[in-house]
Chain A
Amino acid sequence: MVRRKLLILIAAAGAAVLADGCRSRRPPVLRVAHIYEPLAGPVYAAGLRWLEGIAEQFRQNHPDFTVRFEQVQWNKIDSKSMTDFRAGVGHDVVMSSPQMMPQHFLTGDLLDLSPFLRHWPPGAVEDFAWSPSWRACTSGPVCLGIPTGVHARVVIYRRDYFQDAGLDPDRPPATLDALLEAAKKLTRDTNGDGKTDVWGLGLYMGPERATIELYFAPLLWHFGGDLWDPVTQQASFADAAGVRAAEWLRDCVHVHKVTPPTAMGGKYDGVFEAFMRGELAMAWGWGNYWNVELEAKGWTRGLHPAAPGGQAVKVGVMLTPTREGAQFSNCWTVSIHKLCPHPDKAFAFIETMLKPENLDHYADAGLPARRSMWERPQFDNDWYRTWRQAAERGRPMPPTPHFNHLADSVAVALQEIVLKQADPAQTLQRYQDEFNRRYAKP
């Protein structure tokens, strides 16, 4: 009996030594959590290929490391980083969203990058620091993320539809009223079956964050309101400006009938899909991350990727006709998780990503993150001048750590207002009160 126990003990010790040996021989791993959605079109696949190229470059300089990708849905990556931090589960490099930075600051799941940035050559930080997303990622000396690009939104329109409706495609509407008038002219029943086939203005008011970021907030800012008060930490979207914004959006569907009722649900990508199918004459909230599809369809030529002499063929873009600064812009930022065991290697990976020659090919970067890249000749045309203006005029979402809940509250209120014809003032107030009761400072 004793001999048997002894044998088991020796076998267990041997197995432990063997396991330890295997572990020590395994190369250290750099975990890169990035956005990926296999069903969401070619941009994600291109992003993955780009990251694999970055990993290859990184491995050449750090042969002792292997890179492992962790794929997360775009709207879950920030919350995953935070919940994993609370659960003690670490990552190394993490893609992050500027609008979620206040929550990251509060949770403490991301590492301060400023000690690494101090070693950058003069002017390198300034090359990134122009964008609203950079501002969203920094608080005093602390920096939690570096922009990989700029995501701006404009109103895209079909030039041929403009011509058919007697509108000048070279002079798109510049005010909200003009936009609405143009949308009415562009809304058409092309086959005479009594149903609208081409809608004048595509919008989105579904459950995703785009509803607050691209539609409600720009209108609210335009009418002089704000989403959230940083001093009292109270939501303020139910004021008179918020009510006007909600009414404007509601009226597009019910009164002017220029926006399809499908705008109330599904995904934000539905705006893109409907425009590409030719069902929308104008699409508000068009993101530069969709531009690559315009090129594939031949609607632009030599613009994506940008080349000197590129031109828009079938489409045009205009700035969102809200007042200056009443637009949203963001991007994907890149950060280091607090539970990363080798932050120097993680930052080396980030530096590889941010090389100008690499950022050039990042499909999801959208527009150049580095100011110096904008000076290249391929960006010297009307198309990119509009995009650059949209990027510079953009502002981040309010720095509430409960932004997801704020976005949900606004989306749900809007859906009740549009779908149930609920009173805008009362509905917005109810959701604002629920938000404030939970999060506002006493």
Chain B
Amino acid sequence: MRNPKRSLPARVVASPQWLFLPALLFLALFWVAPIGPGILISCQEPVAGTAMLEWAGLANYRLLLTEKTFRTNAALTLWYLLGVVGFSTPVAYLAALAIAGRKRGTGAIRALFLLPWVVPPVVSALIFRGLADPQVGPLAAFYQWLSGNPDLIPLHHPFWAMVHVIVHSVWRSVPVLTLFLAAGLTTVPDELYEAAEVDGAGAWQRFRLITLPLTRSHLATGLLLISAFTLQDAETIYAMTGGGPGHDTEVLAVRLFREAFAQGQLHVAAAIGTLLLAAGVALMAFYLILFRRAESAS
């Protein structure tokens, strides 16, 4: 048998942190390398008449952060995210409670639940655009009833266009979150519910005191995933509303798409991308804290 101390340089043996080097290189290659050029472009601007870019420092960020439209984009992104997370979570819990356990037919129902997730995003967005057609769309009829305005054209209305965009995203997100929560529910021992019932706990108390704390880590992971998708979601909104009416559904990802591909302002798009990345990292940190708290609580 070979002696590992012999095959490794003495310096590595003395400082075992060198063993992290391959993992760090791997991370650098697949994570930092693609992001680095994006951040670099965000600090540049094009030189007229050439394909070259020149250093611009933080000018693109200054331009965005002092622009009212960008602040609107950011506020809409937050609203979109909160809307999707806020509506998806209770629906997903209900669905997970319904399909958890080994009842007959739950396997088929789980497979059906995944259907919205496997439909290509642009296809589902176009279907939803049709559902909001004021002449024939059933969702349009529902919005008209809800708003009390029979002439409402949902995708031309600042508020209802955003509601419709959120409804579509909730429809896509619920299956994934449901799967995570259903997996979490299977780890909760039945004895806890039985004991709670003996103690006279109601359904809400059982959910609040047992289900929620014990599935919090699954919830955090699921929310992390759908939040990341929601933050990056440009194609479905673009296909449904084009960011309109006005700027009323133009979240940051849609703005990024327009800057890059409709207006050819790659440097500004890169700055938006970097800010979105920062928001994503912040969100990830928030969910990790939630996750750790859940871990320590359980």
Residues of A within 8 A of B (CB): 76, 79, 82-83, 85-86, 88, 103, 105-108, 206-207, 261-262, 264-265, 401-402, 404-405, 408, 412, 415-416, 419-420, 430, 434, 437-438
Contacts of A434 in B (CB 8 A): 67-69
- Determine if B157 is an interface residue (Cβ-Cβ < 8 Å): yes
- Determine if B263 is an interface residue (Cβ-Cβ < 8 Å): yes
- Determine if B63 is an interface residue (Cβ-Cβ < 8 Å): yes
- A76 with B158, Cβ < 8 A, contacts A85-B51, A108-B51, A261-B153 known: no
Contacts of A264 in B (CB 8 A): 153, 156, 245
Asked if A86 and B49 make an inter-chain contact with CB atoms under 8 angstroms apart, the answer reads no
Asked if B262 and A108 make an inter-chain contact with CB atoms under 8 angstroms apart, the answer reads no
Asked if A106 and B49 make an inter-chain contact with CB atoms under 8 angstroms apart, the answer reads yes
Contacts of A108 in B (CB 8 A): 49-51
- Determine if B100 is an interface residue (Cβ-Cβ < 8 Å): no
- Determine if B216 is an interface residue (Cβ-Cβ < 8 Å): no
In angstroms, how far is the closest chain A Cβ from the Cβ of B235? Answer: 14
- Determine if B243 is an interface residue (Cβ-Cβ < 8 Å): yes
Contacts of B262 in A (CB 8 A): 76, 79, 404, 408
Asked if A412 and B246 make an inter-chain contact with CB atoms under 8 angstroms apart, the answer reads yes
In angstroms, how far is the closest chain B Cβ from the Cβ of A107? Answer: 7
Q: Which residue of B lies closest to A431 (CB)?
A: B69
A405 to B48, CA, bound (A): 17
Asked if B156 and A262 make an inter-chain contact with CB atoms under 8 angstroms apart, the answer reads yes
In angstroms, how far is the closest chain A Cβ from the Cβ of B34? Answer: 15
A430 to B245, CA, bound (A): 17
Contacts of A261 in B (CB 8 A): 151, 153, 156
Tell me which of B46, B157, B246 has the highest count of chain A C-beta atoms within 10 A of its own C-beta: B246
Asked if B244 and A404 make an inter-chain contact with CB atoms under 8 angstroms apart, the answer reads no
In angstroms, how far is the closest chain B Cβ from the Cβ of A224? Answer: 27
- A415 with B244, Cβ < 8 A, contacts A79-B261, A86-B266 known: yes
Q: List 21 A-B contacts (CB under 8 A).
A: A83-B264, A86-B266, A88-B51, A107-B51, A107-B264, A108-B50, A207-B242, A261-B151, A262-B134, A265-B153, A265-B244, A265-B245, A404-B263, A404-B264, A408-B263, A415-B246, A419-B156, A419-B157, A430-B68, A434-B68, A438-B63
- Determine if B247 is an interface residue (Cβ-Cβ < 8 Å): yes
Asked if B63 and A437 make an inter-chain contact with CB atoms under 8 angstroms apart, the answer reads yes
A402 to B45, CA, bound (A): 14
Q: A82-B264, A405-B263, A420-B246 are in contact. List 17 more A-B contacts (CB 8 A).
A: A76-B262, A79-B264, A83-B264, A85-B51, A107-B51, A108-B49, A207-B242, A207-B244, A261-B156, A262-B134, A265-B155, A265-B244, A408-B262, A412-B247, A416-B246, A419-B156, A434-B67
Tell me which of B68, B156, B158, B245 has the highest count of chain A C-beta atoms within 10 A of its own C-beta: B245
Contact of A107 among B49, B63, B261 (CB under 8 A): B49
A368 to B156, CA, bound (A): 38
Q: Chain A binding site: helix, strand, loop or mixed by DSSP? A: helix
A119 to B155, CA, bound (A): 54
A220 to B297, CA, bound (A): 66
A281 to B298, CA, bound (A): 70
A434 to B246, CA, bound (A): 15
A210 to B89, CA, bound (A): 42
- Determine if B164 is an interface residue (Cβ-Cβ < 8 Å): no
Contacts of A88 in B (CB 8 A): 51
Contacts of B49 in A (CB 8 A): 105-108
A253 to B191, CA, bound (A): 65
A261 to B156, CA, bound (A): 9
Contacts of B46 in A (CB 8 A): 86, 107
Q: Which residue of B lies closest to A412 (CB)?
A: B246
A83 to B49, CA, bound (A): 13
In angstroms, how far is the closest chain B Cβ from the Cβ of A416? Answer: 5
Contact of B243 among A82, A106, A207, A430 (CB under 8 A): A207
Tell me which of A105, A108, A404, A412 has the highest count of chain B C-beta atoms within 10 A of its own C-beta: A412
Asked if B266 and A106 make an inter-chain contact with CB atoms under 8 angstroms apart, the answer reads no
Q: Which residue of B lies closest to A81 (CB)?
A: B264
A197 to B227, CA, bound (A): 44
Contacts of A430 in B (CB 8 A): 68
Contacts of B155 in A (CB 8 A): 265
Asked if B51 and A265 make an inter-chain contact with CB atoms under 8 angstroms apart, the answer reads no
A408 to B243, CA, bound (A): 11
1/0 per residue, CB under 8 A from A, across B144-158: the answer is: 000000010101111
- A419 with B158, Cβ < 8 A, contacts A79-B264, A106-B49 known: yes
In angstroms, how far is the closest chain A Cβ from the Cβ of B71? Answer: 11
A262 to B155, CA, bound (A): 10
- Determine if B218 is an interface residue (Cβ-Cβ < 8 Å): no
In angstroms, how far is the closest chain B Cβ from the Cβ of A221? Answer: 24
Asked if A76 and B261 make an inter-chain contact with CB atoms under 8 angstroms apart, the answer reads yes
- Determine if B258 is an interface residue (Cβ-Cβ < 8 Å): yes
The 8 lowest CB-CB distance pairs between A and B, nearest first, are A415-B246, A265-B156, A416-B246, A86-B51, A415-B245, A207-B242, A404-B263, A108-B49
In angstroms, how far is the closest chain B Cβ from the Cβ of A119? Answer: 26
Contacts of B151 in A (CB 8 A): 261
In angstroms, how far is the closest chain A Cβ from the Cβ of B50? Answer: 6
A79 to B247, CA, bound (A): 21
Q: Which residue of A lies closest to B247 (CB)?
A: A412
- A103 with B156, Cβ < 8 A, contacts A412-B246, A412-B247, A434-B68 known: no
- A106 with B263, Cβ < 8 A, contacts A206-B244, A415-B244, A420-B246 known: no
In angstroms, how far is the closest chain B Cβ from the Cβ of A256? Answer: 17
Contacts of B63 in A (CB 8 A): 437-438
Contacts of B157 in A (CB 8 A): 419
In angstroms, how far is the closest chain A Cβ from the Cβ of B160? Answer: 11
Contacts of A207 in B (CB 8 A): 242-244
Tell me which of B67, B260, B263 has the highest count of chain A C-beta atoms within 10 A of its own C-beta: B263
Contacts of A83 in B (CB 8 A): 260-261, 264, 266
Asked if A262 and B243 make an inter-chain contact with CB atoms under 8 angstroms apart, the answer reads no
Contacts of B246 in A (CB 8 A): 412, 415-416, 419-420
A437 to B66, CA, bound (A): 10
In angstroms, how far is the closest chain B Cβ from the Cβ of A81? Answer: 10
Contacts of A107 in B (CB 8 A): 46, 49, 51, 264
Asked if B242 and A106 make an inter-chain contact with CB atoms under 8 angstroms apart, the answer reads no
A265 to B244, CA, bound (A): 8
In angstroms, how far is the closest chain A Cβ from the Cβ of B259? Answer: 9
A416 to B158, CA, bound (A): 9
Contacts of B242 in A (CB 8 A): 207
Q: Which residue of A lies closest to B135 (CB)?
A: A262
Contacts of A408 in B (CB 8 A): 258, 262-263
A412 to B72, CA, bound (A): 13
Q: Which residue of B lies closest to A108 (CB)?
A: B49
